[in-house]
Amino acid sequence: MSRIASILTLTLLLGGAALMAALNLLTDPGSAWHVPTYVVSLTGKYLCYAILALSVDLVWGFAGILSLGHAAFFALGGYAMGMYLMRQIGARGVYANANLPDFMVFLNWDSLPWYWWGFGSFPFALLMALLVPGLLAMAFGWLAFRSRVTGVYLSIITQALTYALLLAFFRNDMGFGGNNGLTDFKDILGVPLQLDGTRCALFLASAIVLAGCFLLSRWLVRSRYGKVLIAVRDTESRTRFLGYRPEAYKLVAWTVSAVMAGLGGALYVPQVGIINPGEFAPANSIEAVVWVAVGGRGTLVGPILGAILVNLGKTVFTGALPELWLFALGGLFILVTLFLPRGIVGLFARRRSGGVPLPAEPSSPAEAAAREAAS
**DSSP codes, 338-371:** HH-TTHHHHHHHHHHTTTPPPPPPPS-HHHHHHH
Looking at the domain assignment, is residue 237 inside a domain? yes
Q: What percent of the chain has pLDDT over 90?
A: 77
Taking every pair of C-alpha atoms in the chain, what is the biggest distance, in angstroms?
69
Between CA 190 and CA 196, with CA 191 as vertex, the angle to 5 degrees is: 170
Domain membership of residue 366 (yes or no) is no
Residue 352: per-residue pLDDT: 57
In a domain, 188, yes or no: yes
* Type and span of the H or E element at 192: strand 191-192
Residue 328 lies in a domain: no
- 312 found inside a domain: no
CA distance readout (Å), 120 to 84, 85, 129, 188: 6, 8, 14, 11
Q: How many Å apart are CA 7 and CA 14, to the nearest integer?
A: 11
Tell me, what's the pLDDT at 3? 81
pLDDT per residue as tens digits for the range 115-174: 999 999 999 999 999 999 999 999 999 999 999 999 999 999 999 999 999 999 999 999
Kindly state whether residue 361 falls inside one of the protein's structural domains: no
User: From CA 83, how far away is CA 288, in angstroms rounded?
Assistant: 25
pLDDT in tens, 34-72: 999 999 999 999 999 999 999 999 999 999 999 999 999
Per cent of the chain over pLDDT 70 is 93
User: Does residue 40 sit within a domain?
Assistant: no
Task: Tell me if residue 232 falls in helix, strand or coil.
Answer: helix
Confidence of residue 350 (pLDDT cuts 50, 70, 90): low
Contact 78, 86 (CB under 8 A): no
Three-state DSSP string of 132-183: HHHHHHHHHHHHHHHCCCCHHHHHHHHHHHHHHHHHHHCCHHHCCCHHHCEE
pLDDT value at residue 363: 41
* 3-class SS of residue 326: helix
How much is the pLDDT for 25? 95
For helices 301-320 and 343-352, the axis angle rounded to 10 degrees is 120
In what helix (H) or strand (E) does residue 239 lie, and over which residues does it extend?
A: helix 236-241
Please write the tens of the pLDDT for every residue from 221-273. 999 999 999 999 999 999 999 899 999 999 999 999 999 999 999 999 999 99
The reply to whether 215 falls in a domain is yes
Count up the domains in the chain and report the number.
1
Domain that holds residue 217: 45-287
User: What pTM was estimated for this model as a whole?
Assistant: 0.92
